[in-house]
Amino acid sequence: MNPKLVLAYFLSFASASLFFYMAVPWFIDKWLNRQSKKVERLADKLEDIFVFIREKKLTIILRLLPLGLGLLGAWFFKWIGLGLGIISGFILPMAILRMIVARRRVKFIKQLVDGLMILSSCLKGGLSLIQAFEVLVEETTPPLSQEFNLVLREIKLGVSIEEALIRLSKRMPSEELSLFVSAILVARETGGDLTKVFSRLVTTLRDRAEIKEEVVTLTTQAKVQAIILSLLPVGFVLWVYRVDSHHFDVMFETDLGKILLIGGGVLYLLALFLLRKFSIVRI
């Protein structure tokens, strides 16, 4: 064998080995740091909704979930399933958390009207605002009771009522809660009658809730159609690949197929974006 060729192979192998020796630990360190930050953010968001899970358990879940879903996808759809499973494992935790937070916020807003009526009754009975909050915590269920219990704890620790309510509005951002907090802050500054303010606010929130329910009813069919249309292409590709794994080889082996594949992917993402935008109705 030509000595120069042997030397070239040796130098190439040595260079590749040195690169991996230096790059792999760096990538692993970066990935671990990113995972630790993600775990901290996830733990903080879970604590905001009063779900307490240790960071060690969250780390194990976040590391094993992509592997488990990847193996499950590979069992049914081979390499495509492996890739989709791993990607889903990275996306699902935050997606599930957002869904839980959104549902909790919706439930909180629904409870807020009844909570306002309780507060109004307590104030009419001669109780102070803090005492009315205590009655509200005792008479309601989570998440309303949890959030106002946290408000009471902050007040007992020396935080002003105004600051505690502002923190509440940041934890549970919504227009309804913003109206509630603003009404209390303005009434406390101007000396207004909170009972009358709460009565008007109850009427306003009920009207908003009725309009929202009507909008949801009218847009449910369109949202279901959007979900079905967005899932059909993915389901079709997975089914065809399951039946004949070589059916789409022409799309990856020819230039025209690659162009069509990229164009189809771009149009599919554009369609998802437009369906999402058209299904949103702001009140």
Q: State the pLDDT at residue 50.
A: 77
Of 103, 135, 154, the last residue of a domain is 103
Structural domain boundaries, residue 12? 3-103
Report pLDDT digits (tens) over 207-256: 888 888 887 787 777 778 878 888 888 888 888 877 887 887 888 788 88
Q: Considering its fold, how many domains does the chain have in total? A: 3
- Tens of pLDDT along 138-188? 999 989 999 999 999 999 999 999 999 999 998 888 888 998 999 888 888
Claim to verify: residue 194 and residue 222 sit in the same structural domain:
no
Max CA pair span of the chain: 101
Q: Identify whether residues 146 and 237 lie together within a single domain.
A: no
Residue 94, pLDDT above cutoff 90: no
Residue 51 pLDDT more than 80?
no
Question: pLDDT category, 83, cuts 50, 70, 90?
Answer: confident
* Whether the predicted pLDDT of 9 surpasses 80: no
In a domain, 72, yes or no: yes
Please, what's the b/e burial string for 188-200 (b: 16 or more CB within 10 A of its CB; e: otherwise)? Answer: eeeeeebeebbee
Do residues 58 and 43 lie in contact, with contact meaning Cβ atoms separated by under 8 Å?
Answer: yes
DSSP codes, 16-85: HHHHHHHHHHHHHHHHHHHHHHHHHHHHHHHHHTT----HHHHHHHHHHHHHHHHHHHHHHHHHHHHHHH
